[in-house]
Homo-oligomer: A and B are copies of this chain.
Amino acid sequence: MDEGLTIGQVSERTGLSVHALRYYEREGLMLGSVSRSHGGRRRYDATDVDWLLLCNRFRACGMPVSDIRRYAELVAAGPGNESERLELLRAHEDRVRAEVAQMQENLTVIAAKARLYEQHIAAGSAGTLWTGEAPSCLALEAMAARR
């Protein structure tokens, strides 16, 4: 009954599977190697959990495992490389901003299509009005249907 959290407890707290936690460690994503109990089991501390929650954020916005490893290495190396860390964060920030913008643009197209289908369906079950005078956004489906 040592100090610290077991891998199972950390799994619950982070939502990562125990397999994923071992994988993250193997891949060098932890800030140094996780400490072990007398019997050789992993014992995580609060910092480990916080770090893993941050990793979850990184992963959730598409940061590759290799970039997280790089960031972890910089942090583990201690003070003196803050500008490198910043560069990595900024690069990721930019990528995510671009991706969000892209997704929002695509979302408007998809939403527009959905709204048009709603109107079409609401306007009655007749397929008659549909083919031929479909607005540009549904012209594709209309044409395809005509084949």
Cα of A99 to Cα of B100 in the assembled complex, Å: 9
Cα of A128 to Cα of B116 in the assembled complex, Å: 60
- Report which A residues bind B (CB closer than 8 A): 31-32, 47, 50-51, 54, 57-58, 60-61, 75-76, 78-80, 82-83, 85-86, 89-90, 92-93, 96-97, 99-100, 102-104, 106-107, 109-111, 113-114, 117-118, 120-121, 127, 130-131, 140-141, 143-145, 147
Q: Are A106 and B96 touching (Cβ within 8 A)?
A: yes
Given the contacts A79-B145, A117-B89, A145-B75, A102 and B140 also touching, CB distance less than 8 Å: no
Which of A86, A140, A141 is packed against the most chain B CB atoms within 10 Å? Answer: A141
Q: Are A127 and B86 touching (Cβ within 8 A)?
A: no
Chain B nearest Cβ from A92, distance in angstroms: 6
Given the contacts A86-B117, A118-B86, A141 and B103 also touching, CB distance less than 8 Å: no
Q: State the copy count for this chain.
A: 2
Given the contacts A61-B107, A92-B110, A143-B47, A117 and B82 also touching, CB distance less than 8 Å: yes
Q: Are B140 and A110 touching (Cβ within 8 A)?
A: no
Cα of A85 to Cα of B114 in the assembled complex, Å: 8
Cα of A96 to Cα of B106 in the assembled complex, Å: 9
Cα of A20 to Cα of B143 in the assembled complex, Å: 24
Q: Are A147 and B32 touching (Cβ within 8 A)?
A: yes
Residues of B within 8 A of A117 (CB): 82-83, 85-86, 89
